[in-house]
Amino acid sequence: MSRKPADPSNRQAGKPLLAVLRGQALSPPPIWLMRQAGRYLPEYRQLRQDKGSFLDLVYDSDAAAEITLQPLKRFPQLDAAILFSDILIVPFALGQNLTFIAGEGPRLSPILAETAIEDLNPFPARLDPIYDTVRKVKAALDRTKTLIGFAGSPWTVATYMAAGQGSRDQAETRRLAYSDPARFEAIIRRIEDVTVDYLLGQVEAGVEVVQLFDSWAGSLSPAQFEQWVIVPTARLVDAIRARHPDLPIIGFPKGAGGKLRAYARETGITALGLDETVDPVWAAKELPEDLPVQGNLDPLALVAGGETLQAAVGRVLDAFAGRPHIFNLGHGILQDTPVAHVEELLAQVKGTK
Residue type, 324: P
The C-alpha atoms of residue 305 and residue 199 are separated, in whole angstroms, by: 36
Q: How far is CA 211 from CA 2, 53, 71, 180, 351, in A?
A: 23, 25, 18, 29, 27
Q: Determine how β-strand 271-273 pairs with β-strand 105-109.
A: unpaired
- The catalytic position among 22, 39, 74, 235 is 39
Pairing of the two strands 325-329 and 293-297: parallel
Residue in 48, 74, 183, 235 annotated catalytic: 48
> How many Å apart are CA 198 and CA 193, to the nearest integer?
9
> Has 48 been annotated as catalytic?
yes
Q: Would residue 60 show up in a list of annotated catalytic residues for this protein?
A: no
Strands 80-82 and 271-273: unpaired
Annotation marks residue 39 as catalytic = yes
CA dist 34 and 39 (Å) reads 12
Q: Is 44 among the catalytic positions?
A: no
Which of 44, 59, 131, 160 is labelled catalytic? 160
Catalytic residue, chosen from 11, 35, 174, 190, is 35
Identify the active-site residue in 60, 79, 86, 275: 86
Active site positions, annotated:
35, 39, 48, 86, 160
